[in-house]
Chains A and B, each alone.
Chain A
Amino acid sequence: MFGVTTRMVPGSGLARHSTILLLIGVPTLLLLFALVQLCRNVWFGEGAPLGYQAFLPLGAIALAWHRRFDLKTISAELSTLFPDPNHSKRRGTVVLAVFGGLLLLAGILASLPPLGLFGFLLLAVGIVLALWGPFILRGLVGPLGFLALMLIPPPMAGITGRFGIEFQLRSTAFTGYVLRALKKDAHIQGSTLTVGGQTPIDIPASFSGLEILLATLAFSVLVVLWHRLRIGAALLVFFTAIALSLVVNLVRVLILVSTGAPQWLPSAPFTILICAMLWGCGLLLAQRSAATPKETLAR
């Protein structure tokens, strides 16, 4: 994106690159660091189900990079139609970016991650708008929309509270039914599972499957946007993500029941495994039906 714009102003590319990096890139990275600090409990706290959010900016950047040729085309068209680099179609207001930064600062002072995340989103949108104008911003709707959709956390009280408990109980019950189907004597009481009269095992909240489900759903959105899948294929990816996360979590709980060692069963490797499977699924679906831009969710 930068390269294309630089070519529009011959002789000033390097200086402009350095200025953007120094004046915009460095403070943005510092603000991202402050955001990570603000969200560290939500993302990296023990049993935090929203840890995947820390990787979403990387996903958005990768998606933007994936769309670089589209952006180059838009940029070339703009420079032909509006040769003045300061034309309003090629540059936007700085107000949104500054407002986003201030909102992020307010989120830090109020120790309020959702406010900080919303501020960061506005900052990202505002920077694109200020430096490259509304058309490039429209070209980045996919990556920015992905960030907006996935980065704002759902209410934590609900996630760790009633919703989390519901998942924990259902996960325990589901495992119990599977064990019974395998002719094992399994007794379910709340989140406690007793198999064959042995010591009851409490299925902890971290084994509710919620963490894996949320992460894989976020990844499935990325897969859909990356491969520009049609609605039908997109729904198939989402359902596959849900089904895989439930099955993989069941396997995880079964291993827990048989080994009784939760410390050896973090959710991350299982999530990565599902993500790899989803990526493959997305590739297959993309090969089978090459979607036109108008028909994709990304547009």
Chain B
Amino acid sequence: MMTRLLRLGIPLCLIALVALIATARLATRGSWVPPLPTVIGEWTVTEVPVSEEERSMLGSPRLTGFELTNPLQERIFGRIVATSSFDAFLPPLLFRFYEVTGEKALTLEGGGKALGQVNRQMGSELRVSMIAWVQRPDTSTSLLGIPSGSTRSPLGRFLLGSEAAFQENRSCLIRLFTIVHPADPSGAQARRNLLSAANAVRKALADGKPLAGARGAEAAFSEGGKDIAYLADKGTPAGSDSAELLPLKTGNNWEFDATTEGGRVPEQVIVRGPEVVGGVSGIALDILRGGKLWRREVYQHDGKALRLLAFGDATSTRIVLSPPMALVALPVTEGGEVHWKGNLILKGQKLPTIGYSRVSARENIVAGAGRFAAYRVDSVLTIDGAKPTHFPAIRWLAPGIGFVRRGYADGGKPAVAELKRFTVK
């Protein structure tokens, strides 16, 4: 009898001991939710509350909801969730009304792995791209436990739990998701934004340590789905130089049909000739409305970048950028970004300003003058201050042609000008 009791009692005592140690360790290490700084790379972080319903659906783990905003005011929503409950690996509440239409493993900086996912809203064409990975304090990543489609892996969770309990490895689940904007039909920019944000978040959490790659057994998930193209890497160098992107020979001109809040207005852009701005030589462009000078912009190309030197209306105010701000770095790459920090000189006053410009997409533009393959260049200048002032602009530039479409603010209202005719020497 005693032998039988010992045969049962000893394993039970051992299991109970291990279970207690695991419970105690998971209670501390399993609730790791690292804080994020308010600015990470080009992204501004704003903490946002998470609803009680979502918290409860995830099994009430510790979690942080946040929003990342880039200089172009594009938003990415995020969650950092402690891996303390099995349901913590469920997607956020929003995804209840979505179906997974694409899945792919994405590679992060340093070789880290993340699950890329496209979710389509049921009964509509609205898509939300998402990236998710398990992050450890040593900066390594894992896909363990992350659900593929609607399937959650108990084995993955078991391995993660064992790591936390016995290998001193804490982990948290990070999810970032963004709406695929209608102006981004291939989802390429959404994907680039997600990867940029993911790498920024990882660097922020690495606290100066070099980024490690993926570690541990990989979770099995099915790559594919009808929307997998939304997760494919489409960044390709175009091999164009700035002179071809915006031909700046004197006399070149472009005629536009501008649509503003006041109606349709004919616009003409003429390359006037060389001009020195703040000691830097550039090429001035006159923008005429109804035959009268309306605005002036000064550009420069030096083989490394297409730069903006100055802009402003013709009659009174000219705004000078010191140093000149690069709009497009060469060679042109879809997704290529330029960050600028300098001063905006307005009526002799120096205003500290930051600039951001990005080749967001290569698009086929149909305008009055024909059909063009053009790069959409999104730019924004932001004057620092208690209430930052933004100067956004969108330029569609076709190599060898120049402007084929322009988007800008006209008295604070959005306006779009489309190419009707052009003369380029």
**Is A81 an interface residue when CB atoms closer than 8 A count as contact?**
no
Q: Which residues of B contact A156 (CB under 8 A)?
A: 59, 87
* Chain A residues within 8 Å of chain B by Cβ, number: 49
**Is B57 an interface residue when CB atoms closer than 8 A count as contact?**
yes
Q: Across the interface, do A23 and B9 meet the contact criterion of CB distance under 8 Å?
A: yes
Q: Across the interface, do B12 and A97 meet the contact criterion of CB distance under 8 Å?
A: yes
Name B's interface SS. Answer: helix
Q: Which residue in A33, A91, A109 is a CB contact (below 8 Å) of B22? A: A109
Q: Across the interface, do A160 and B57 meet the contact criterion of CB distance under 8 Å?
A: yes
Q: Which residues of A contact B12 (CB under 8 A)?
A: 23-24, 27-28, 31, 97-98, 101
Q: Which residues of B contact A97 (CB under 8 A)?
A: 8, 12
A38's closest neighbor in chain B, by CB? B23
A to B contact number (C-beta, < 8 Å): 137
Q: Which of B4, B10, B19, B90 has the most CB of A within 10 A?
A: B19
Q: Which residues of B contact A28 (CB under 8 A)?
A: 12, 16
Q: Which residues of B contact A115 (CB under 8 A)?
A: 154
Q: Across the interface, do A85 and B1 meet the contact criterion of CB distance under 8 Å?
A: yes
Q: Across the interface, do B157 and A110 meet the contact criterion of CB distance under 8 Å?
A: yes
**Is B70 an interface residue when CB atoms closer than 8 A count as contact?**
no
Q: Which residues of B contact A42 (CB under 8 A)?
A: 59
Q: Across the interface, do B5 and A34 meet the contact criterion of CB distance under 8 Å?
A: no
Interface set, chain A 102-133, CB cutoff 8 A to B: 102, 104-106, 108-113, 115, 127, 130-131
Q: Report if A111-B11 is in contact (Cβ < 8 Å); known contacts: A34-B23, A41-B60.
A: no
Q: Which residues of B contact A73 (CB under 8 A)?
A: none
Q: Across the interface, do B20 and A109 meet the contact criterion of CB distance under 8 Å?
A: no
State A130–B7 Cα separation when bound (angstroms): 10
**Is B56 an interface residue when CB atoms closer than 8 A count as contact?**
yes
Q: Which of B2, B9, B20, B165 has the most CB of A within 10 A?
A: B9
Q: Across the interface, do A94 and B8 meet the contact criterion of CB distance under 8 Å?
A: yes
Interface set, chain B 74-120, CB cutoff 8 A to A: 83-88, 90, 96
Shortest C-beta distance, A24 to chain B (Å), equals 6
Shortest C-beta distance, A1 to chain B (Å), equals 15
Shortest C-beta distance, B25 to chain A (Å), equals 10
Q: Which residues of A contact B23 (CB under 8 A)?
A: 33-34, 37-38, 108
A31's closest neighbor in chain B, by CB? B16
B12's closest neighbor in chain A, by CB? A27
Interface set, chain B 5-38, CB cutoff 8 A to A: 5-13, 15-20, 22-23, 26-27, 30
Shortest C-beta distance, A109 to chain B (Å), equals 4
State A30–B78 Cα separation when bound (angstroms): 38
What would 15 A/B residue contacts be, using CB atoms closer than 8 Å?
A: A20-B5, A26-B13, A26-B16, A28-B12, A30-B19, A33-B20, A34-B16, A46-B52, A86-B4, A98-B8, A110-B86, A111-B30, A156-B87, A157-B90, A205-B53
Known: A111-B83, A160-B57. 16 other contacts (CB 8 A): A16-B5, A23-B12, A27-B12, A27-B17, A31-B12, A33-B23, A34-B19, A102-B15, A106-B158, A110-B154, A111-B30, A111-B85, A111-B161, A113-B86, A115-B154, A130-B8
